[in-house]
Structure 1
Amino acid sequence: MHPTRIFRAHHGEKPNLTGFDIKKFAHAAGPPRYDPWERAEAWRYTGLFSRWNRFKGAFPGLGIATVAFIAYLGYEKMFLEEEHHHGDSHGEGHH
């Protein structure tokens, strides 16, 4: 039998001729300390594109509409309330 066949039979994997283990290298390197795209992506979360401005821009006119609706409700309550006649029957023609 050839020596290479015996070696493969014992390990089940191809032998690493260089001795370089990518898993050990990635573990030793840890998380990247510098993201090369960090500066290019920073504009997405500042200024006009901040979280608050994106939320505010999602509902244009909501603030003005809310104030106008509350003002109308106050006006209706104070000036347009009808008097209710509880003694009158509403369905005289209906049996």
Structure 2
Amino acid sequence: MSNFPFRDPWAKREAWRKHPVFSNRAMFANLFPGFGIAVVAFSVYVLVDNVYLSKPQSEASHH
């Protein structure tokens, strides 16, 4: 009999489940790949559209 009578014979085969790649945080971070870049790009688009490409108020209200 070994020194560890309650040793799990499947521990090596189940060790991958505890790897950081399979943590809930890592899974959530990879749920929407590219979402952060898309938010920044859309924010820049809205800023450019509202600031640089908008007509002045005096011309827009005058018919």
Same fold (TM over 0.5): yes
State the TM-score, normalized to the length of structure 2: 0.60
Q: Unaligned regions of 5+ residues in structure 2, if any?
A: 1-5
Matched, 1:60 2:33: yes
SS at match of 2:61: coil
Structure 1 Cα separation of the partners of residues 14 and 31 of structure 2? 21
Match of 2:61 in 1: 86
What code does the residue aligned with 2:24 have? R
Q: Unaligned regions of 5+ residues in structure 1, if any?
A: 1-33, 89-95
Which structure has more RCO (C-alpha within 8 Å, separation ≥ 6)? 2
Task: Please report the RMSD computed on the Cα atoms of aligned residues, expressed in angstroms.
Answer: 2.5
Residues 6-21 of structure 1 aligned to structure 2 (within 5 Å):
none
Q: Is the 8 A contact 1:48 1:54 kept in 2?
A: yes
1:48 Cα shift? 1.3
What code does the residue aligned with 1:53 have? A
Q: Percent identity?
A: 35
Kindly report structure 1 stretches of 4+ aligned residues shifted beyond 6 Å: none
Match of 1:76 in 2: 49
Q: 1:48 aligns with which of 13, 16, 21?
A: 21
Give per-residue Cα distances to partners, 1:43-63, cap 9 Å, x unaligned.
224321111111111101101
Paired residues in the alignment total 55
Q: 1 or 2, which has the higher helix percentage?
A: 2
Structure 2 Cα separation of the partners of residues 80 and 55 of structure 1? 37
